[in-house]
Amino acid sequence: MFYEAIFEPSKEFDYNAEAKKLAGKKVAVCDGGILNEGPLKGMNCFYVPSSTVGFIPIGDLKELKPISQARWHEIRGTLEV
């Protein structure tokens, strides 16, 4: 499925520079599932395709909702990642 959300990074995780540029913006994300290892082990995470943002825990995504593929591509087109 395709989702949109506002990325509000918490101070709990050390995001890279690319992710910090997306803070407060609406992002197009995909479901990454519940991770089995690493610092986000056991958390339901999402990711921004074709980026170096990495996994984003669901708690750092506000107003998360499923959207159409066309809307998802529209949002991706507005972001510089």
Please state, as a whole number, how many other Cβ atoms lie within 10 Å of the Cβ of residue 71.
14
Instruction: Locate 29 and state its tokens.
Output: 């994300």
Q: 27 near 50, Cβ under 8 Å?
A: no
The DSSP bridge pattern shows strands 26-34 and 44-47 to be: antiparallel
Q: Which domain holds residue 42?
A: 2-78
Specify the residue for token string 């107003």.
63
81 band by pLDDT with thresholds 50, 70 and 90: low
Total structural domains within the chain: 1
The H or E element spanning position 17 is helix 17-21
> pLDDT tens, 15-33?
999 999 999 999 999 999 9
Q: What is the dihedral of CA 69, 3, 73, 70, to 10 degrees?
A: 30
